[in-house]
Amino acid sequence: MSSMALTKTVDQATILSGDRSKLKDLLCNRLAECGWKDQVKLMCRNKIRENGGNIKIEQLVAEVTPNARSIVPDAIKKELLMKIKAILAAQEGLDI
């Protein structure tokens, strides 16, 4: 299964079960707890400063996103993946 198909399947499953917002809240909380949000704000401020305050939001997002994604702690990625697997397994009546 391609990652696009898997993403679509996970999106559909979590939307239907109402777990998507719980997962999003968990992710936001974990990112705030580890200081990730503060790091990304700092990256944005630095990019804006580098461009003399003259940068479009689309350009800012394009330039900051790859680095922001790369600094998400592995522990958070693993926790979220386990939660998703547990939700999908519960919907299928499986044990993981």
Mean pLDDT by 10 residues, the chain (96 residues): 64 67 92 96 96 93 96 96 85 62
39, 28: one domain: no
Domain for residue 24, yes or no?
yes
Same domain, 46 and 65: yes
Same domain for 56 and 46, yes or no, is yes
Check residue 72 and report its DSSP letter.
S
Q: Which domain holds residue 49?
A: 35-72
Co-location of 21 and 3 in the same domain: yes
Q: Which residues of 52-64 are buried (b: 16+ CB within 10 A; e: fewer)?
A: eeeeeeeeeeebb
Name residue 3's amino acid: S
pTM: 0.70
What per-residue confidence (pLDDT) applies to 66? 96
**40 lies in a domain?**
yes
